[in-house]
Amino acid sequence: MHGHVPAPPQPRPATTALAVTQRVLFVTVTLLSLGILSWVAMLRLAILRRRPLDWALFWATCALVLATLVVFGTGPDDEPGTLGYIALAVLFALAIGVPVHYLMADIRHHRLVSAVAPPPYPPQGYGPAPYGYVPPQPTGYPEPTAYPQPSAPPHQPQRIERVRAELDELSDYLRKEQGR
């Protein structure tokens, strides 16, 4: 109760309008094409994250789309048959599954990238400053004298007494409510 006050959570950087626009665009393209262009969102994700699993999912999506197009192109014109219905189900599954996976992975990627931001200033003594950092120039004013800081914050007896009084009032009120 008398320990340090936890620091407030740091505000997250707002998602940029470009990232939101790209998400809307890739999901819309996938949904409106009924899964035929689902490989576009998977390619974007594979390029963005550069993980082997994302590249494997991209190539698997390309293979599934190509296979369904082949089935539709070579099947009979009058009745699609069982294989045609399976191909249609695969396209619908891609039209739903790819946007869900794309949104989850893209949002997670942007959260991780924003959590691992470069420091606002370079560490001292490690060579030239990266990120175009320009060290501050001396102003000619003398350095302020460092005064010792108190080790503990001053005690606030008025606040403690007020809290105690409020707690006493609350406990009296609760006792009266229980008595009814």
Higher pLDDT: 114 or 138? It is 114
Higher pLDDT: 141 or 73? It is 73
pLDDT for 65 equals 94
Q: What CA–CA distance (Å, rounded) separates 102 from 29?
A: 12
Note the pLDDT tens digit of each residue in 93-109.
Answer: 999 999 999 999 998 88
pLDDT for 130 equals 56
Residue range of the domain that includes 34: 17-115
In a domain, 29, yes or no: yes
In a domain, 140, yes or no: no
Higher pLDDT: 115 or 40? It is 40
In a domain, 90, yes or no: yes
Q: Using N-to-C axis directions, what is the helix angle for 81-115 and 38-49, rounded to 10°? A: 30
In a domain, 68, yes or no: yes
Closest to 44 measured CA to CA, from 89, 103, 85: 103
In a domain, 130, yes or no: no
Mean residue pLDDT of the chain comes to 79
In a domain, 177, yes or no: no
Q: How confident is the model at residue 164 (pLDDT cuts 50, 70, 90)?
A: confident
Note the pLDDT tens digit of each residue in 7-59.
Answer: 655 555 556 888 889 999 999 999 999 999 999 999 999 999 999 999 999 99
In a domain, 176, yes or no: no
Count of structural domains, the chain: 1
Q: How confident is the model at residue 124 (pLDDT cuts 50, 70, 90)?
A: low
In a domain, 85, yes or no: yes
What integer is the mean pLDDT of 115-128?
57
